[in-house]
Structure 1
């Protein structure tokens, strides 16, 4: 997840948005390079989204199906799932390379990228756009909502049973570490679901809107409401890639311990060097 999200930040934010805005005629804005960058952007976004879905499914199995946990939640299965997600994302998004044409030609040199008009008229591209809309982000929307809802429902039901048993044993007034862990899990799952839904909503609406109107992507008309919404959606997608990994990582005790160790290490090194000099 971290690698996929780092790819999103590198290619979307640095190599596309920043360079395109401040260095419009740099090497990265040649049409061929631009097409490669845009294709990698879609690949990295798909990897980020579907690894989030895979992680959510892993938590669902670990919490709701204890019998399958030992068989499914293994390093071997994790490696297979990650490999399948990355390979599928690459194959699925290769067609994006062929939907762009030069935005302008200066002295025989092709610059920037623009979506071909045939992309919105040819049946094969229309089918591809529908498939992309379903696979990302509509299907992840549904899967993350469904899996997290089922997980939260399972936790709530288990809490009720546990509370009843503790009440019968007259121990209800004491703190229950297990109940506290389950509450944290619910907060985590709600944070992931809410973050993903809110940050991908604009992009989902834009995809659906293009399907039923004559609007086109990457018009780059900053006075047009659709272009503003589209660019805002891309910005929120990039933010989503940051928040998901941070929420998952920051919620893990071992990660927090390692982070504290990283922060303390330079100070410990300085103190050690100072004592050595003395």
Structure 2
């Protein structure tokens, strides 16, 4: 979900990519390195916790969550670190030269497409697990999840390949920049490519996620309403409360699990939608303005005097934040994940205690080597005196 670069005029390139004294530029210089510093370790920890611990999740859900952590880490590395952070830290990043100018968008869009459609796949898998009992045994399995994840990564890269021909490296005032190809034959190709990316990265995923979440919440609401007393023979005639759905008796324990699964699903998917909607709207507005403008050219993208440019950069920051917040979402919604995270942290701390004790001895001069060095240093000082 990379910030799109508009067709840039020669005067704009000569003046620089952005006014360095604007508060938005200063904010991005601080925000993107901080986001990478926080997000990458949290994704790695999330992957390790889910991999080593069950967290009371099904095997298919664990695979999807681990794949999402990998895709989000790829987004942070390729877009946040290698593009945005370097853009604000270096006057001429390495990707402004050939062939990195073309390869950069392939990596960026491949990672962002995978991150987006893994959320959609996870939403669909949880919808089937909650809504359709018959398909659950065939769809909600580790093998099916692994095949779906592999297909999502492969298709994400394939959909990003056309972006290889979208950018060119130009040199203005002995400074290289990566901009859209402005030749006549490429003009329609660029506009069609960007609109296709907008549809498959925002409009289509948003539609699927909102529809499936609505159906999932509706199914849980109906299962809670269809309640009838059922005699429990294992508890001496105690009358329990169950509900029937799709020909099966839903016990209170199963209903509780459905609620927890729905809570995780809605939290992950709706957070993705809420953090990405600002960018989606601003991209549609910018693309519509570019198409309706003279010669199909949009205003200078780096002119922060235009409010839509500020809103677009804020949308990019919010959208990329989605790649770093999953661990926080799991901590807030999954009690078992919190327990496993604390257990892993305690285990790591216990493993590091011998190293800490050794370092404490060294700094407290209890180590024989340090004591010997101190004695030699003192003798040398007395000889000089």
For residue 234 of structure 1, what is the aligned residue in structure 2?
Answer: 316
The answer to whether the Cα contact below 8 Å between 2:95 and 2:178 also exists between their aligned partners in 1 is: no
Q: Deviations over 1:61-115 (max 9, x none)?
A: 11111111111112221121111111111111112122122354454xx623222
For residue 139 of structure 1, what is the aligned residue in structure 2?
Answer: 204
| Runs of 5+ consecutive residues of structure 1 not aligned to the other structure | none
The answer to whether the Cα contact below 8 Å between 2:126 and 2:265 also exists between their aligned partners in 1 is: no
Say if 1:127 and 1:265 are closer, same or farther in 2 by CA, change over 3 A.
same
Q: Distance in 2 between matches of 1:20 and 1:37?
A: 13
Say which of 149, 154, 157 aligns to 2:222. Answer: 157
Q: Distance in 2 between matches of 1:100 and 1:30?
A: 11
For residue 166 of structure 2, what is the aligned residue in structure 1?
Answer: 99
Q: TM-score, normalised by structure 1?
A: 0.83
The answer to whether the Cα contact below 8 Å between 1:249 and 1:255 also exists between their aligned partners in 2 is: yes
Displacement of 1:206 in angstroms is 2.3
For residue 340 of structure 2, what is the aligned residue in structure 1?
Answer: 258
Q: TM-score, normalised by structure 2?
A: 0.62
Give the CA RMSD over aligned residues.
3.3
Question: Is 1:45 equivalent to 2:109 in the alignment?
Answer: no
Displacement of 1:217 in angstroms is 8.9
Aligned length: 272
Q: Distance in 1 between matches of 2:333 and 2:159?
A: 32
Displacement of 1:43 in angstroms is 1.1
Q: Deviations over 1:141-175 (max 9, x none)?
A: 0001011111111111111123x4379x7657xxx
Instruction: List structure 1 segments (4+ residues) > 6 angstroms apart after TM superposition.
Output: 272-277
Say if 1:120 and 1:242 are closer, same or farther in 2 by CA, change over 3 A.
farther
Which region of structure 1 is more displaced relative to structure 2, 1-10 or 200-209?
200-209
Question: Is 1:188 equivalent to 2:260 in the alignment?
Answer: no
Say if 1:80 and 1:178 are closer, same or farther in 2 by CA, change over 3 A.
closer
| Runs of 5+ consecutive residues of structure 2 not aligned to the other structure | 1-67, 232-237, 242-251, 291-296, 362-385
Q: 1 or 2, which has the higher helix percentage?
A: 1
Question: Is 1:221 equivalent to 2:288 in the alignment?
Answer: no
* SS class of match (2:303): coil
Q: Distance in 1 between matches of 2:214 and 2:184?
A: 37
Say if 1:114 and 1:249 are closer, same or farther in 2 by CA, change over 3 A.
farther
Which region of structure 1 is more displaced relative to structure 2, 261-270 or 110-119?
110-119
Larger Rg: 2
Q: Distance in 2 between matches of 1:69 and 1:205?
A: 36
Say which of 58, 78, 92 aligns to 1:11. Answer: 78
